[in-house]
C-alpha cells in the first residue's frame, strides 16, 4: 500500500513553484519512461508539496504531465525529497518517505483543473488511472543542498512507472494499490548506498 505511512503522514496543502526555470521551457522528464509514445511533456517547472512523518518535516519536488487525448491517465514524476528537519529525521527509510511523498504530491493537485476527473468524488471510491514516475535507485546526499535543508534524496537513474489508484477516505485522498510496475535497472554508476525503489 502506498501513501499514509502507517497512518503517521500529515500532508500540507501549500503549493509552490520553483522559479529556477523559465515558464516557457519544457522537459521530457525520464524520457525512457514513455511506452505510450505521446508527444506531451512534463512541465519544465517543478512543484513542491510538504508532508510530515511524526515530528519530521519533508518536501517533495515533482513535475506535472496533464491528461490529453493521447494520454488519458493522470501522471506526475517524483524528482527529489528534501529533509527539512535535523537528524535523526534523515534516517527515515526512503520507502516510507516515497510512499508519503507520492500521496503528498497527489493531494497537492486536488482542485488543479489539469487534473479534473483524477479524483474520486464519493467517500470510499477510487480512480484507477494514475501513473507515478520516478527513478529506480535513490541515494541521500548533503552536497549542494539549499539553506534550511539537512539532506536530499535524489535518484541516480533508472526508471520506474507505477500504476496506482487514488481513493477517497473521509475528506482525504490516498495513493493505494499498485496495479503494475514497469522498471529499468539501476545504472552501474549509482553510489554503493543507493536503494532500489521499483516495487
**Span 106-151, pLDDT tens digits:** 999 999 988 988 999 999 999 988 888 888 889 999 988 989 999 9
Which residues, other chains included, contact 183 with Cβ-Cβ below 8 Å and sequence gap of 6+?
136, 158, 159, 160, 161, 198
Tell me the average pLDDT of the chain. Answer: 78
| 90-108 residue pLDDT tens | 999 999 999 899 999 999 9
SS3 for 199?
coil
* Per-residue confidence (pLDDT) for residue 30, from 0 to 100: 52
CA distance 15 to 27: 20
Nearest in space to 60 (alpha carbons), one of 25, 92, 15: 15
Mean pLDDT of 175-181: 70
pLDDT band at 19 (very low <50, low <70, confident <90, very high): very low
Which residues, other chains included, contact 97 with Cβ-Cβ below 8 Å and sequence gap of 6+?
53, 58, 81, 153
pTM of the model: 0.79
φ, ψ dihedrals at 101, nearest 5°: -65, -40
Q: Which cell is 2 given?
A: 502506498
SS3 for 16?
strand
Nearest in space to 161 (alpha carbons), one of 3, 35, 1: 35
* Per-residue confidence (pLDDT) for residue 198, from 0 to 100: 76
SS3 for 113?
helix
CA distance 129 to 126: 9
CA distance 39 to 120: 27
CA distance 60 to 75: 15
Instruction: Tell me how far CA of residue 192 lies from CA of 12, 41, 113, 130, 156, in angstroms.
Output: 33, 32, 42, 32, 11
* Per-residue confidence (pLDDT) for residue 80, from 0 to 100: 93
Amino acid at each position: 500500500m502506498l501513501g499514509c505511512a502507517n497512518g503517521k503522514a500529515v500532508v500540507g496543502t501549500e503549493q509552490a513553484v520553483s522559479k529556477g526555470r523559465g515558464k516557457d521551457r519544457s522537459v521530457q522528464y525520464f524520457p525512457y519512461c514513455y511506452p505510450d509514445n505521446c508527444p506531451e511533456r512534463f512541465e519544465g517547472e517543478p512543484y513542491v508539496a510538504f508532508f510530515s512523518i511524526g515530528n519530521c518535516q519533508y518536501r517533495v519536488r515533482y513535475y506535472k504531465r496533464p491528461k490529453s487525448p493521447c494520454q488519458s491517465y493522470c501522471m506526475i514524476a517524483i524528482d527529489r525529497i528534501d529533509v527539512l528537519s535535523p537528524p535523526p529525521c534523515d534516517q527515515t527509510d526512503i520507502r516510507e518517505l516515497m510512499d508519503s511523498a507520492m500521496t503528498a504530491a497527489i493531494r497537492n493537485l486536488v482542485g488543479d483543473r489539469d487534473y479534473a476527473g483524477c479524483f474520486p468524488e464519493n467517500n470510499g471510491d477510487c480512480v484507477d488511472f494514475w501513473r507515478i514516475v520516478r527513478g529506480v535507485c535513490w541515494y541521500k546526499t548533503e552536497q549542494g543542498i539549499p539553506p534550511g535543508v539537512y539532506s536530499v534524496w535524489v535518484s541516480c537513474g533508472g526508471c520506474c512507472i507505477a500504476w496506482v489508484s487514488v481513493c477517497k477516505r473521509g475528506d482525504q485522498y490516498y495513493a493505494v494499490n499498485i496495479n503494475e510496475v514497469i522498471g529499468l535497472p539501476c545504472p552501474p554508476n549509482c553510489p554503493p548506498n543507493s536503494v532500489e525503489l521499483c516495487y
